[in-house]
Structure 1
Amino acid sequence: MDKLIYTAMTSGKHTLAQMDTVTHNLANISTDGFKSQLDSFRAVPVVSNDLPTQTFVVDATVGTNFTAGAIHPTDRALDIAIKGQGWIAVEDANGKEAYTRGGSLQVNQNGLLQTQRGLNVLGESGTITLPPDENVTFSKDGTVSTIPVGNKVANGTIIGRLKLVNPPENTLVRGDDGLFRTKDNVPAEIDGTVQVASGAIEDSNVNSVESLVSMINLARNFDMHVKLLTSAQNNDEKASTVLNLA
């Protein structure tokens, strides 16, 4: 009886964990450049001196779907999207280097180029500061240039170049803040092959239909585990009744 109870209990627990992952993905369906999380669980035999007749359920390592999302034009000068593979380097809340695909940028009151969350965007030689009252343009290699407002003749002034990187996906880990970092916390090297599209944004790669179907299936699985626990309780009560009669 304990085998049924333990298996159903642990499986139900991890099914709830998977539902949390799917819910998190659905909540970020409109987040620019968001990469959906992957989660799964598997049965593992209990190691003991007895025969391996018992199993318990554990979560497999939560992974990430690095598939690129669709790119849609916005015609906003400060919007950029990574074309293909690659990342935009930013400075996280602790001043460390991190990576994002969210390319909706802004300029703060001090002229610093930042993400919409207020994180400084990194260039190849540090943060990028833009002069006031000038239009900003991004070339496909990440070069940042400015042109005085109203001046359509003057050549652009190069301010710097975005730090664009493309470390192997298996070396990246997602933080609680949604940013990615290298597992060894060593800043990734600049990759000159990474290209950006200006005036565009990359959508989240979450598949809403697939996520909703997964949510329904997980809810049914959890209901099945609850019914198994109820059946185990009923069987235990009946067994106790039989023993009392003996």
Structure 2
Amino acid sequence: MDNFAYLSMTGAKHALQAQQHTSHNLSNANTPGFRADMDQLITHPVSGPGFDSRAYSAESSVGWDFNPGTMQTTGRDMDVALQGEGFFAVQGADGNEAYTRRGDMRVSNMGLLENGAGQQVMGENGPIAIPPADKVDIGDDGTISIIPDGGDAEELVIIDRVKMVNPAEQDLEKGDDGLFRLADGDVAPADAQMRLSSGTLEGSNVSSVDAMVELIDNQRQFEMHVKMLTNAEENDAASSSLLRMQG
């Protein structure tokens, strides 16, 4: 009986955790450049003295979905999307370099280039500062050019270049902030061969329909495990009643 109840209890716990992961993915279905988390439920034996006759289910992360998101034409000059694989380098909240596919660029009130999440975009020598300008242009190789404030409309001044990197996917890990970093803590080198498209934004690779189906499936799994726990309690009560009658 305890085996029955233990399996049901752990199954309900991890079905609820899987529900949380799916909810997180669904909440980012409209986040530019978001990469969905992937997880799975696996069976583990309960080790201890004697034979491993007990098992429990465990929910664990198995990585991230690196498939590209849908490309959306916005017509906005500072919306950029990477062509093919790779990432933009940004500065994380801890001050260290991290990587993202999010390309909705803007100039902050402090004159720094950042994305829609407020993460500062890295250039060749750190965060990119944008002087007062009438226009900011990002070329397909990441070169940032400006028309200085009050300057000649035909005179473009190159000020920096967006750092783009292309590390191997297996070398990356994803943080709670949604940014990727090299697992060994190192910094990825810039890849001069990478190109981007202006006026285009890469969307999230989360399918809202698939995520909703997963939510429903996880909810049914949770309800099934709770029902099994109730059945175990009822069977235990019935067994105790029979033993009392025999006594």
TM-score, normalization by structure 1 = 0.94
> Which residue in the other structure is 1:195 paired with?
195
Q: CA RMSD in A?
A: 1.7
Counterpart of 2:61 in 1: which secondary structure? Answer: coil
- Per-residue deviation, 1:149: 6.9
Give the letter for the 2:41 counterpart: F
Counterpart of 1:53 in 2: which secondary structure? Answer: coil
Distance in 2 (CA, whole Å) between partners of 1:81 and 1:131 is: 23
> Which residue in the other structure is 1:162 paired with?
162
8 Å CA contact 2:90, 2:121 repeated in 1: yes
Distance in 1 (CA, whole Å) between partners of 2:44 and 2:191 is: 41
Which deviations, in whole Å up to 9, do the C-alpha atoms of 1:108-156 show, x marking residues without a partner? 2332111223221100222212221331111211111113579786242
Question: Which runs of 5 or more residues in structure 2 are unaligned?
Answer: none
Distance in 2 (CA, whole Å) between partners of 1:11 and 1:118 is: 39
Counterpart of 1:72 in 2: which secondary structure? Answer: strand
- Please identify runs of 4+ aligned residues in structure 1 that moved more than 4 A: 148-153
> Which residue in the other structure is 1:7 paired with?
7
Counterpart of 1:51 in 2: which secondary structure? Answer: coil
Residues 134-153 of structure 1 aligned to structure 2 (within 5 Å): 134-148=134-148
Distance in 2 (CA, whole Å) between partners of 1:67 and 1:60 is: 20
Give the letter for the 1:37 counterpart: D
Cα pair distance change 1:94/1:48, threshold 3 Å:
closer
Distance in 1 (CA, whole Å) between partners of 2:175 and 2:232 is: 40
Counterpart of 1:39 in 2: which secondary structure? Answer: strand
8 Å CA contact 2:140, 2:196 repeated in 1: yes
Give the letter for the 1:10 counterpart: T
Aligned length: 246
Distance in 2 (CA, whole Å) between partners of 1:209 and 1:119 is: 29
- Per-residue deviation, 1:178: 1.5
> Which residue in the other structure is 1:104 paired with?
104
Give the letter for the 1:177 counterpart: D
Moved more, 228-237 or 40-49: 40-49
Moved more, 170-179 or 97-106: 170-179
- Per-residue deviation, 1:51: 2.6
TM-score, normalization by structure 2 = 0.94
Moved more, 142-151 or 91-100: 142-151
- Per-residue deviation, 1:198: 0.8
- Per-residue deviation, 1:22: 0.7
Question: Which runs of 5 or more residues in structure 1 are unaligned?
Answer: none
- Per-residue deviation, 1:88: 0.5
Distance in 2 (CA, whole Å) between partners of 1:14 and 1:109 is: 44
